[in-house]
Structure 1
Amino acid sequence: MRKLLASGLFAALIAGPVAASGLMIEVAGQANGTVTIDLLEDVAPRHVAQITALAADGAYDGVVFHRVIDGFMAQTGDVEHGKMGSDMRSAGTGGSDLPDLPAEFSDVAFEKGVVGMARSQSPDSANSQFFIMFDEAPFLNGQYTVVGRVTDGQDVVDAIKRGTGGNGAVVGEPDMMKTVTVTD
């Protein structure tokens, strides 16, 4: 809790969501370019508030795409263990100092460019990690919280370095979110 209070994130969440309508992500690595995401505040207000607070605090800067499955999705957002230069063996196992969120399921379909919140087996365990779809995945509909949609830069998303094996773990140097900026 001390880290949370010191970072200002707790105060931002209590005060309410940062006024935002999207994120601008500068991707670096095999894929290079800008991805613009429209956040769906009306669909998942708590999740959007948490992502926005983390982005505004710079928590996502330097975080890698640790799980990337061709034809499915690219996952990132582990602000605890997913920073470039850290021990990548733990990437994907962490979250943030903020609390996990209760699910905000909707009828928004998981299609190419849709952004969803990653979670563990519990529907109420989403925290900081999110994924961007390469293609449609109807089996995720109503099972994961949708938080946004790519409005520009899907070609950059499509170029993100793919992982290997069933879990899509990226071998070698993964692509990363160099900077993540909250947009109006």
Structure 2
Amino acid sequence: MVAQLYAKEAPQNVNSFVFLAQQGFYDNLTWHRVIQDFMAQTGDPEGTGGGGPGYAVPLEVVPTLNYDKPGVIGMARTNDPNSAGSQFFITFAPYPSLNQGYTIIGQLVEGLDVLGQVRLRDPGSDPNKGDPLVSIRVVDLVAAQ
């Protein structure tokens, strides 16, 4: 999968995501929550949906960025809007109820078909590990204007 990140629109969240990726934080984690016609979520070192990097990043929203198509990459969080950490999700379809409530950090530009091959999984009822996320590589950084 290849994604474009929105560093200008969500600078703190993208910076955290890139930092964690460059540190190898995401290597070999699993897609711990995968819901048909909704999204696939990863970024939890515990694989349960409860783990993170040990810090939180605030909500960053831009009115022009919405969950209006497949492949939107958003930051997962708790009920506190300012609790994003390392967990992120990629949508399978438009999901407007997420608009302005979850930071959008990017958009898949290639590989939505690959995402669709990830096995469905509910961490609360599936004792098996989710499919692995091998690694995230940052291949090109362009400074935000």
- TM-score, normalization: structure 2? 0.90
Q: Cα distance, 1:173 vs. partner? A: 3.5
Q: Is the 8 A contact 1:117 1:147 kept in 2?
A: yes
Task: Give the 4+ runs in structure 1 shifted more than 4 A.
Answer: 167-171
Out of 125, 131, 140, the position equivalent to 1:175 is 131
Deviations 1:92-149 (A, max 9, x none): 101003x201110122111210000000000000000000000000010011000010
Counterpart secondary structure, 2:102: coil
What is the one-letter code of the residue matched to 1:47? N
Counterpart secondary structure, 1:74: strand
Q: Number of aligned pairs?
A: 138
Gaps of 5+ in 2: 141-145
> Between the two proteins, what is the percent identity of the paired residues?
39
Aligned counterpart, 2:41: 75
Out of 38, 59, 74, the position equivalent to 1:103 is 59
Q: Cα distance, 1:169 vs. partner? A: 5.6
Deviations 1:123-181 (A, max 9, x none): 000000000000000010011000010011110011110124xx776552411111111
Out of 73, 92, 105, the position equivalent to 2:49 is 92
Counterpart secondary structure, 2:138: strand
Could you tell me how far apart the structure 2 residues matched to 1:169 and 1:104 are? Answer: 32
1:143 and 2:101 matched: yes
Superposed counterparts of 1:2-41, under 5 Å: 35-41=1-7
Gaps of 5+ in 1: 1-34, 83-90
Aligned counterpart, 1:61: 27
Counterpart secondary structure, 1:181: coil
Q: Decide which structure has greater strand share.
A: 1
Could you tell me how far apart the structure 2 residues matched to 1:37 and 1:143 are? Answer: 21
Aligned counterpart, 1:18: none
Out of 18, 35, 41, the position equivalent to 1:52 is 18
Deviations 1:71-107 (A, max 9, x none): 000000013x13xxxxxxxx2101003x201110122
Aligned counterpart, 1:115: 73
Counterpart secondary structure, 2:105: strand
Q: Decide which structure has greater helix share.
A: 1
What is the one-letter code of the residue matched to 1:55? A
